[in-house]
Structure 1
């Protein structure tokens, strides 16, 4: 791309905001270590750059769902403790053992596979036993806990594993006062107590996710796992906005208008003509669509900032593009259409898009596809680049400036 070329779309990732979020979260749990969860490519933000920034801000653990994600972090040179927990039979157990990962174990089948891998690798595997305290997904049921703990201790005595952690996951920590929270905490204490009475000596006990880190100090134990809050998004509306929680959204998504044209009254827009212009107007074409992760469910409702005004998706979101009704305004082709960002420039936020699409902000940022390059800004801290190099992107290599700060913003119904 030439220096004068206009980008189709960019997801700008502010690593200074991420570092500030990590410091805020550490302040909420000062006695616990912090695991920055970077699964699903750091919730769509880019796993390796975000992991480096989180470690620079004081995180001491990294967490992923799949072993492949964790192995990619190790291959990129990320140091220290990396945990992964979503396994299927026949997974890369030996590679994970040899990469010195901490491996979540929820059942006997997994314990037996990791023990075999450890024997083959000739070294002990680090494992963390997961208790299902009420979420009903991964984790060992209380009735099976005795058997899992007993077999883990026997494998540890043989030198095949080392039980480094005991952990669980909340179901409703984002709903303050939900009765399941206290019930899960009590069950977790019981299951941890049983394991420790039998001789398990974990380095860390952990159950707190982002909402529990922010609101439940009694759940912090030795380690907190922060996912969505690391990226500056509130874990749930009932807990407050990102600003209420002292967090700043890390991703700003924008695209360049690909076309601006005048159309008459009664003109249908996009497939199915679900939107028809009510009068003479102008349309702007935004060159991103559901193939880029823009939710089709936000057809007719998704907000976009163009020329200092809020616009709304006009008609259906298509695979590669959607239109907005500009209400007669004629911004130039190439003008930025900002879909979401921190909100302090008047632009919508990921939460606004979540409400428009009937989903959660987690999904909005995580689903942004690989056709949209991630552009990393504010990589440097204390005079050195966290990535070991200068400013960069995951796409063209061109660093883009921040979106303009529209100070006079009007929310337009068009």
Structure 2
């Protein structure tokens, strides 16, 4: 494997520096203005930053949603067979598949995640949010990630798929290990893939046991719904049910966790916006969209070129890895005026935080609902959010997601 390429003078756009991790937007602004289709030697991938190019690329017939194959090709050849169990399960995700295979799996998820079904989870989400906020209010503050942003989506997604509460630790580890694999630089693909494979296979065994239980005693959960689809004639293997459930754990946990953490950070840093939301709850939907635009939980969307293609005069070769930077597209001044200003009253509906086209995140409605409930609960229960530290927030070292390590807030 080639060594990781850290910053040196030839890297005008350093995507691995601590400064970029802390605040990626100045570099992304320069890329979008100067080289919107850029090949980064550091991460061995194309970086696409303009809003219209991101939309075009995500729907392009010559660009595949397969983001496993190009990574596997960057592994030393002798190591590739070892990771076949991991790549096989992840390759069954609807988010990784192109038509026509995508249509089949997407239809199954869509049936289980219709808006009426999601809205039926509202009382459960409200109860969990109330319990977590109650405990924080009693203490006069909270460590946002540990006390709220991490546990709430885990409890919710466990209920949805039908996993017991005692398995939440494993589900959390599985989701984090997968996102670390997707968000690691090339030099650490092997160790992060090894960790992710262990977690995925352990979670697969848990889900395999749950499938056997639901075959005997169905319940109102995703596993039972997928088993019912199989009995109705859908040709679903156990591994396909398992892969779909792991996708829901990954998508339902990571995006929502980061949305909650990033949102509370922004509302604490912009007290006038928090006060505006408190006084006008009807702004809630727009506020959540603005949080998703301004500090996107998922910073980039990975794809693979199926053949050679030309974009803005640059030739992208077959099997090249492409990163469509939703974080840059969401601050494109061609779409959003004064894009570096956080404003919950603006129309942010053109954000790409949940992806685009057929691969739009299937859990977007659920994430929006959870965030609206949590932020609404804070608006009602807390008069003021205050950051305990004056220093910059600390972000995880991940190239794919915008995820806080911790965030301590006090209430008034």
TM-score interval for Structure 1 and Structure 2 normalised by the shorter chain = under 0.3
**Higher RCO by CA contacts (8 Å cutoff, separation 6 or greater):** 2
Q: Which structure is larger by alpha-carbon Rg, 1 or 2?
A: 1
User: Which is richer in strand?
Assistant: 1
More helix by share: 2
